[in-house]
Structure 1
Amino acid sequence: MLFKEKFLLSNCDSVRRLNEEELSKRFLTGLAFADGVIVTPNILIDNECIASVISRANVVKYLNEEGYGKFIVRGNNLNNEINLVDFFDNRPDDYIISSLPGRPRKSSITDQQRTLILTRLELLQERLDQISPKIENLSIEADALSKEIARRVNNSSCSIGMSGDKISELLSLSTQPMSRSQWYAFIDRLFSHRERYLAEKFKAEVIDPSYNSRFIMKGEAFLQDNIRIISNFPKLLLDAGVTLRALRNEAKLLGFAIEIFELIYSAGTGRLSSFLTDKALEYIEYKLEDFGKGYLSRKNWFGMYRIMQEKIGLEIK
């Protein structure tokens, strides 16, 4: 694998409104190049594309065989099993359903809309049951998002050129139990119309990473929205990557890949298959030691993790 971390399927909920191809790329990246994929229940219940993504034949084969346990559903108050219909029914009345036109609150949806959602969730439940995801409970305090945003704002690199008054107003909310949607609305009010680009920058560089970081453990990672490489990466190759991992016990993949930056910068295909074996990672680590580069940590492994952070927004906890 290219990364030893599990990847949270971040920025893939209905707020971002990604199409199926972009969602597939992010999901398949976690399976093909990382140690697995983590999703939240909200991504499952409020995303129209996720069912078709997880029911692909190569995905089902991989997650039931070599990749068993590599697909994790993690969230608040989960048991060993998850029933999506029950989970939806237990959402509060002010829960916003972004996948529906107008983003209505749960309390205001029509009977027809409710039937549509429940039908979709029943189908998704069938697809989930085919791959037996690992269910993990996570206790998240109500003010965790606000505290994490405040922590990042206190870091000068995250202040996005904000004035002292704006920072003070923002920090005054650091103990308030606010959702991401509420934070979006606050930031839209905080910045003037002429500063709209700063509001969007703050959402992408502070709010979204703060939101995502609550769902990952130490040693796990997520990709932010600045992922031009993945956006330009042919989904066919990612599909092939998952297929090769699913068939690794049957296929004889020979050789090593040492030109790792070819993949990072240009998504070169010449040596792609060798990236999909643990041997490639072991070989590069061995060569680093051989060259006396043992001081390089994995986060800066051959400079790659720094490049990934800069080029595609990789954040490791």
Structure 2
Amino acid sequence: MIFVTGGAGFIGANFVLDWLDLQDEPVLTLDKLTYAGNRDNLASLDQDPRHTLVVGDIGDTALVRALLKLHRPRAILNFAAESHVDRSIYGPADFIQTNIVGTFHLLESVRAYWNELGGKERENFRFLHVSTDEVYGSLAPQDPAFSESTPYAPNSPYSASKAASDHLVRAWHHTYGLPVLTTNCSNNYGPYQFPEKLIPLILHQALADKPLPVYGDGQNVRDWLHVSDHASGIRRVLEAGRVGETYNIGGNSELANLTVVEALCDALDRHRPTAQGSRRRLIQFVTDRPGHDRRYAIDARKIRKELDWQPAHSFASGLEQTVRWYLDHQEWSERVLSGAYRSWLEQNYAERRQEA
């Protein structure tokens, strides 16, 4: 079996669902179920004997070691992380605790488990760490895309904490020999994404005929990767990636945030037209967030050449699938939008509207 940490979050849940849709190898999922970790994401697996969900923290050494001893996974995939830049600006402590301290404790638990393995079990074991392109910093418009050799230059508490976790994983390989793999992905989108991120946030606001907040001038550029493509890239790295190596996973879809928001408005206008006309009228530019990186771009030639992987979705097809999913699952969005989240959302964007 495989052991997936953070498997009830957006990317982790999509990975688990895709994994069990494609094969029968069991999955043990560990998730702390914070605000973004959601049982609903894995509800379709409630009666599936191939899946076990355990509520717990990667930093709980006793729990993790007991799970490893009991289930004896052949691989561990670490999706567990605090991941929202805005939240890291307001409260960095949780990001330091989970992304750095939690990863350290997880690595130590895994190292102890791996040291007790023998023969083929030890030889075939892998620890795959899922990270982000934000660790590389910000690009100017004409700069080449991030490659695996781009120096780290994180600019937010979130990206700094993920960079630190990447360095820990690298060190545990080079110092202790732990067989690790690291992936750095671009901006994900797709089903089950928590509505604080751009695409589900805009969808939720637009359906409610509320203002669509766009930071700054809307020209911050990101490379957009459909979450199912990310999952397929991770599966390929786990299957054939070289131990100790890093692989960038990108969507070949560099777009400005404003372009993405306009595309979402147009898609909703096609599927759910309103008497008020185009939803582009709801776009509202707000004060930019501190230290907002201008551009990210992924050079994914390494994974393409070494592992013969490339994304299956164009941004147009992926966005269409995503919009349809959210329209068909509006009850999911309503359940995850707790009072606490609504208060945080209003505070974050109300302050920026006042400043704009």
Q: TM-score, normalised by structure 2?
A: 0.26
Q: TM-score, normalised by structure 1?
A: 0.29
